[in-house]
Amino acid sequence: MKRSRLRDGTPPGQRSTGPTRRDLLKGFAATGLAAYLAKSLPAHAQLSTPANPPVPNTSARTGIWRGVNLGSWLVLEKWMAPSVFRGYDASDEYTLSQALGSQARAHLQAHRESWITDEDFAWIAARGLNCVRLPVGYWVLESAPPYVPAPDTLDRAFRQAAAHGLSVLLDLHGAPGSQNGWDHSGRAGVVGWLSDPKYAAQTLDVIDGLAQHCKRYDNLIGVELLNEPRWDVPIETLKNYYQEGYERVRKHLPPTVAVVIHDAFRPLEWTSFMQEPGFVNVVLDTHRYQCYTKEDIDKDILEHISFTVEDLARELGAMREKELPTIVGEWSAALNPASLGDLKGFARTQASRAYSGAQIVAYETTAGWFYWSYKLEESSDWSFRDCVQRGLLPNSYRG
């Protein structure tokens, strides 16, 4: 697949005895996906929405967060919006801004005004979703050449989301020096967070500025301190940053606004971290993709579904019960084509629909989920809107 992200690569422990492929097929045929999955989940992973969901009440929205990521809007990703890069030898927002030179502001502003509009927020709300995850770069409010700041677009996002009853999880997707060296941090290459502690200090200042700027918006439900820090960023470095980032957020925002931390691809290493009463309303984010590793590619569709409703659901339950309220901040219907084998037409559609449904059922046991991403330029299983229109995903998320 084109996406450069890596899914969480930490496998759960010993797989429990679960349904066979034949059992799965019988289950789908006899009871329908939702009812079958409800019976297939481990006993401790209940499917019903908890009476008191582990998501804090806010003035904007209560209950489970159900939403989409607004990717490639305020942090560009070439594979999602290739036309923005057309004619330029650039692979990320940094090198594109360099290549554009004096034309960068006008070029990027045209993209920002057209990629996500009021009509998009209306469409999202009409599906019954209640929030969006908004990835931003550290340059969104400040001058950081060659990047072009986008305070007006940031403010428009909050206003238009609010107009349609949508809350916003603000996600720092790109940090100074880069926290993962991938293009979706703004600049591919060296992971500055590994080599120089000044970048963590600068990132704290960015969080401070974002919290201060966005406190005016009642529909802000959370601030995510850092998206996908790479697995080799020392965990103690991250823990120190998260604790200090929490204090920066709380300087400006009340406990009703969540502070969200990413698991850094180490989902079960956060036990006893940032617990109450010392820390209030902290949420753990994990990202789940099943299409990159050899293990992923070797699984067929039924194995992916079985993995989702057994191993993945069990691990999410452990995170929720032993660590912090947990969200799945990124997931998609995308699989490596090898996992779908020779399936074509109707059969392929139903397989993709079943895999998506299995994920939704598993993620509904958490504090919330956000699909990656709302849209792409091309038809793709990574595009929520496209998947809804093709019938791979439900058209309504109410109830």
| Helix pair 93-100, 104-115: axis angle to 10 deg | 130
Go through the chain and tell me how many residues it has: 399
pLDDT at 248: 98
pLDDT at 190: 85
pLDDT at 37: 45
Is 93 a known active-site residue? no
Residue 70 near residue 116 (C-beta atoms within 8 A): yes
Q: What are the start-end ranges of the H helices in 7-163?
A: 21-31, 33-40, 93-100, 104-115, 118-126, 151-163
Measure Cα distances from 239 to 172, 223, 229, 242 in Å.
16, 16, 11, 5
Is 244 a known active-site residue? no
pLDDT at 395: 96
Measure Cα distances from 314 to 42, 308, 332 in Å.
7, 9, 19
pLDDT at 398: 87
Q: What angle do CA 277, 279, 281 make, to 5 degrees?
A: 105
Phi and psi at residue 171, to the nearest 5°: -120, 120
Go through the domains of the chain in sequence order and give each one's CATH number.
21-389 (3.20.20.80)
Residue 355 near residue 305 (C-beta atoms within 8 A): yes
Residues (pLDDT < 70) of the chain are 1-62
Phi and psi at residue 222, to the nearest 5°: -175, 160
pLDDT tens digit string along 157-189? 999 999 999 999 999 999 999 999 999 999 999
Q: Which residue is catalytic, options 228, 315, 323, 364?
A: 228
* pTM for the predicted model, two decimal places: 0.87
Q: What angle do CA 142, 146, 148 make, to 5 degrees?
A: 50
